[in-house]
Each structure stands twice: as structure tokens, then as C-alpha cells.
Structure 1
């Protein structure tokens, strides 16, 4: 089956949403009067990006629903009229013809519950909100799911270096992957797509590892124990958002661990779908901490999975064995 239409839509939607996020983020560096605790820019970007992506997808494929992180209920409250106006203004810079009611309805398209039958998109309009506020890494993450299986993923990473080996070089990357067709990257501002591949490292001790900046997202102490067990001596590469998936996919890192911080937490599908597709099509492997594939057929969460292990594939079994031992799940 050809996904040429869906691929084009995903690239367009993620690119436009990433540009919106970039514009909104400029409020944090333009000398505005935002207080240190003011999170309104990321809120505006979150809602705005979901509206822009929803518009792109619904215009071309109106019958394919969307599992999104946000809904517009808060924006409809009278006390949030000012916030809603900022969201509308941000969206209209991208799509001038949209009115407020249409924008709120587009955001609300993201309330679909997902599941094992049919096809639907899933979107995290801003993955890495704290990174966004720190002017660091965040991602617009989109994926297409058919009958519970990932078939396409796209990541917009507006602050990610185009070439990690050139720290002073240009930033902004777009990643796209279709099942069976490989993973590709191009600069967010345009240019030719280039195929990307995971590293060929085949020993855990030789791998470099990335994890979340925020300790609340993953147990950094358990990650340190896993690294020690594998013989990894270099410090972890800490980076926000699904940019970690991008880092593994293009070979900046060979391992990404998201280890549980509490037993009752259920990972959300939008936090992993887009990145998982990009890594798997680049030759990598993704599982939970027990080595089981992530199950995207159960609705809005990965409730049958615990934690996430992402590798270049070559070291996956070795890493999962170490994770299971550290977490006391061996056997």
C-alpha cells in the first residue's frame, strides 16, 4: 500500500506546526514581560500546533480521526479568553482564514480514543514542554496507526542541530519514516531528504546512552546502574522530548532508556509513536523493559507496557537483560 499522500501531509503538518512553535518561542527571547513562572508561551504553542496539524490532516483526510494530547475545553472558559485569543492569533499566522470557532473545533478533533481497528493519527503538539521553556529541545511528534500498528512517523525538532558534530551549525530537523521505506531527515527549513541509520555498535560497553533531562520522566538512578552493568563509562547524553528517538535513529546515541518512576504510570501513545517509527525504520529496536513490543492498539495509553527501551538493535537484548536485572524483573 502506498502512503504517499499521508507522507506528504505528515511532512507539511509537522513543518507548519514546528514553525508556529518557533514563532511563539521567540516571546521567551524577545525581551517580553513574561515572568519566570509564566508558561503561557508553551500553552499557546501546544494548542496552536495541534490546531495547525489537525487542519492539515482534516482538510485532506477528514475521515481519519486524531488522538491528540490536547482538547479545547479550557480555551472555551470565560476566564481563559485572553489565552484563547493568543492561540487564535498564533494559528491565524499560519492559516489566516480560520476563525476562532473553527480553531477550537480543530483542537477538539484530538479527543478520539484510538484502538485496534481502523486508522488514526496520534499527535503530541509539543513533546518536551520544559525544554521549550528553557529554549532547549522539544518536538512536534505525529504518527499514523492502522489496526493498532504503526505505519508512519514524523518528528519536527526545531532546535536540534542538523549535524551533531557541528555545534555551531544550523538547527532544526524534520524526520519522516514510512513502514518498509526507511527513515529520512532533512533540515526543517528545507532541503533534500537524506536516509538515516542507527549505529553499528554491537557491544553495550561501546555505546553511548541518552535519557530525559527531567528526573521525573525516567529513573536516572536506575539508568546509571544499567550503564554501570553494561560497562558504559561516559556520562549520559540528556536531552528533552522525542529528540532522543531522533538521536538514536541518526546515530548520535545507541541507547535511550525511559525507566519507570512509579508502578501505576501508563505511557501515552503520542509520547512514543512518532519516534518509535523513525527509529525502527532506521534499523533500531524498541520495546518495554521486559523486551515486549510497544502495543499501540489499546487506545490512548501503552497500558500493557512498562517503561521504554530504545536501541540500535544490535545491543538490544544485552540492554534489556541489564534493565531487567536492575529493576528486579529478571526471570
Structure 2
């Protein structure tokens, strides 16, 4: 525990793993036949429950730290049945994960405390101090269809990401498993579930998700691109999240013939970090849209620690110091360090044609 951020890493891993357990329970118990994110949807239940568990762990161990998170508890204060449903999940998940509870401390004691924990996520972010960014369920539609989603947590210190953890319950445990379109639906739990981690300057790792203590970790690294035409690239499932047409044109100009793999969430960052894919493109679909920091902080660090480069379409590093959004950036281009300049050049060429 002597390396920098060792305690933060351990708490983050255990907290994300426990939150991932809750989301899997929500999917299996609540998500059958659900296709929307209405107020009582499994996503709503899972979002609130996972956020409460993660924040409770952070506040027990790092009480002075600020937290930027997606949800707030006002809706639950006005909806007793929904609040009770979420509390039942939170309380039983805490009881069932004794190993994490012992290490994390700070068990949530009742519904009121659960609401208080959720509302601790209201920090405005910024360039000063220690700030955690949480996305309790990144990839709403992936979660609902049994495809890819992620539980995301990152620590920023003075605006710089120092620790990142991604829980990806539906990615294959095998780091060498190739990316396929079938990863986006019809998942079973067999052979699935990974926890990815990175600490600035210390590399990136993966380990299987468990329901107890942390499993042994393995170092991960991006594949070096020797032939860009043989690369595989990831993109968002939703056309509203990323410009599919531009991305197809970029792939064509790079000579890439492999079909793109579309998946939701920061599972894309995790997939290229361990070499299952090569390039992740998220190109702007709107001149005014600003990405949320919780959608990128953990994945950005993990890819960079695995030997990748992550920039926006202008070649600038992602800037997490502005607030709750990446206001200084447009889009994301992630690739191995050696291939990133070539990919970025083609991205800029295609986008400048408009």
C-alpha cells in the first residue's frame, strides 16, 4: 500500500465492484421486457443504488473529497415506493458483500442516509482539490438490452485524473477475446465481467469481477498498430452520440475494412486498452454539445496508462478541470500512441471537408 494513490485505488475498485453487483441484480430481477428509461425503470433504480453505494464508500474513507455524479435524490424524496425499492437493493447488496463492507466501511444505515449520500454528488468540479467523478450506469440502452455498460469512477486532483476504475459486467473476462457485434445483446453471465483500473504513471490492469474480495489482476496494454488498415475501431451504438457517417469515411480513408464494433459506454475505452480493439472514435454530432466528465475520465486514464493516446478532434488532451463538462474539447480520438497521429490527421481531414 506504499505506492501513490494505493488506498484510493483499492477503495475505488471495491466500491465499483460492489456497485456492479447491484446493477447485475437489478438487470436480472427488474429488466425483463423493459426498453425505456422512465422514472421507475431498472436504469433509474440501478443508477440511484449504485451511486449511493459508491458515494458511501468514498465519504467513509475520504470525507473531505468532493464528488461529481449524475443523479440527485429529489425525485426519490417525492416517491416513497421507488425509494423503498432502491433501499431494499442497497441494503441487501451491502449485507451480501461482506468482504467489501469490511474494507470499505461506512455502511448506509437507512433510507434518509441513502438520499444524503446520493446528493453528495452535486460538486461543480473544477481545477482545485480532490474530486471524484461517478457514472453509476454508463450506457443506458446497453444495460437494458443485456449489452455493454459500465460503472465508472475516477479521481481528479487539481483537474488531472489520477485514478480510474471501470466495472464492465458484460465484457468477456478473457482480455484476448475479439470484439464482435454480438457483445451488444443477449448476454449471459458465463465468462463475463471485468474490472479495469489505472493509476497515473503506474499502468493499467484488468481482473475478473467477483462477489467477494478483489480477484488477481493482470497488466493490460494496447496493441501496437503495425498496419492501420487491419485495425478495428469502436464507436457508439447511438447515432445521436457520435457521427457514424464521418467515422465510416475516416475508416475508408485509413484503409480499414473490418466492420466497426458498436457498443455503449466506456466499455469501448476498456476494450481498446486491453488490445481487443484498436481505435475509439466519438465525433461531434452538435456544435454545442459538451461531453460530461464522468463519461470519459476513467476510460481516458486507463487507455493512456495502457499505451494509448487520447485527444479531442483538435489534438488537445481532454481537459477535466473546467467543471462537470469537457467544455474545452470536441469529440474523442483514442488510439495507440504510434498510430494516433495518423488517425487524427484523417479525422481532421474528413471533418474539414464539411
TM-score bucket of the superposed structures, by smaller chain: over 0.9
Q: Do the aligned partners of 1:198 and 1:312 also contact (CA within 8 Å) in 2?
A: yes
Task: Find out whether 1:117 has 2:128 as its counterpart.
Answer: yes
- In 2, Cα distance between the equivalents of 1:252 and 1:147? 32
Q: Do the aligned partners of 1:203 and 1:315 also contact (CA within 8 Å) in 2?
A: no
User: Partner of 2:177 in structure 1?
Assistant: 165
User: Which residue of 308, 312, 316 maps to 1:284?
Assistant: 308
Q: Do the aligned partners of 2:35 and 2:145 also contact (CA within 8 Å) in 1?
A: no
User: Partner of 2:166 in structure 1?
Assistant: 155
User: Partner of 1:103 in structure 2?
Assistant: 114
User: Partner of 2:195 in structure 1?
Assistant: 174
CA RMSD of aligned residues (A): 1.8
User: Partner of 1:226 in structure 2?
Assistant: 250
- In 1, Cα distance between the equivalents of 2:236 and 2:109? 36
Seen in structure 2, the aligned counterparts of structure 1 residues 329 and 5 have a Cα distance that, compared at 3 Å, is: farther
How big is the shift at 1:35?
5.2
How big is the shift at 1:215?
1.3
- In 2, Cα distance between the equivalents of 1:322 and 1:181? 31
How big is the shift at 1:134?
0.5
* TM-score normalized with structure 2 length: 0.88
How big is the shift at 1:28?
4.5
Task: Find out whether 1:91 has 2:90 as its counterpart.
Answer: yes
- In 1, Cα distance between the equivalents of 2:135 and 2:161? 15
Task: Find out whether 1:187 has 2:188 as its counterpart.
Answer: no
Seen in structure 2, the aligned counterparts of structure 1 residues 38 and 320 have a Cα distance that, compared at 3 Å, is: closer
**After the TM superposition, which residues 206-225 of structure 1 pair with which residues of structure 2 at under 5 Å, given as runs?**
206-225=230-249
> Tell me, which stretches of 5 or more residues in structure 2 are unaligned?
96-107
- In 2, Cα distance between the equivalents of 1:316 and 1:329? 20
Any idea what the Cα deviations from partners look like across 1:167-198, whole Å, max 9, x if unmatched?
99600000111011100000001521000000
- In 1, Cα distance between the equivalents of 2:257 and 2:229? 8
> Tell me, which stretches of 5 or more residues in structure 1 are unaligned?
none
Seen in structure 2, the aligned counterparts of structure 1 residues 35 and 2 have a Cα distance that, compared at 3 Å, is: closer
- In 2, Cα distance between the equivalents of 1:45 and 1:37? 14
How big is the shift at 1:216?
1.1
- In 2, Cα distance between the equivalents of 1:152 and 1:202? 30
Any idea what the Cα deviations from partners look like across 1:219-266, whole Å, max 9, x if unmatched?
111100000011101110111100000011000111000011111000
SS at match of 1:62: coil
- In 1, Cα distance between the equivalents of 2:265 and 2:121? 20
How big is the shift at 1:2?
1.6
Seen in structure 2, the aligned counterparts of structure 1 residues 38 and 265 have a Cα distance that, compared at 3 Å, is: closer
How big is the shift at 1:87?
1.2
Q: Do the aligned partners of 1:66 and 1:120 also contact (CA within 8 Å) in 2?
A: yes
The count of corresponding residues between Structure 1 and Structure 2 is 325
SS at match of 1:67: strand
User: Partner of 2:43 in structure 1?
Assistant: 42
* TM-score normalized with structure 1 length: 0.94
SS at match of 1:265: coil
Seen in structure 2, the aligned counterparts of structure 1 residues 11 and 36 have a Cα distance that, compared at 3 Å, is: closer
Any idea what the Cα deviations from partners look like across 1:191-220, whole Å, max 9, x if unmatched?
210000000114421211111111111011
Q: Do the aligned partners of 1:67 and 1:121 also contact (CA within 8 Å) in 2?
A: yes
How big is the shift at 1:38?
6.3
Task: Find out whether 1:258 has 2:282 as its counterpart.
Answer: yes
Q: Do the aligned partners of 1:290 and 1:329 also contact (CA within 8 Å) in 2?
A: no
User: Which residue of 293, 318, 322 maps to 1:298?
Assistant: 322
- In 2, Cα distance between the equivalents of 1:300 and 1:54? 17
Seen in structure 2, the aligned counterparts of structure 1 residues 200 and 35 have a Cα distance that, compared at 3 Å, is: closer
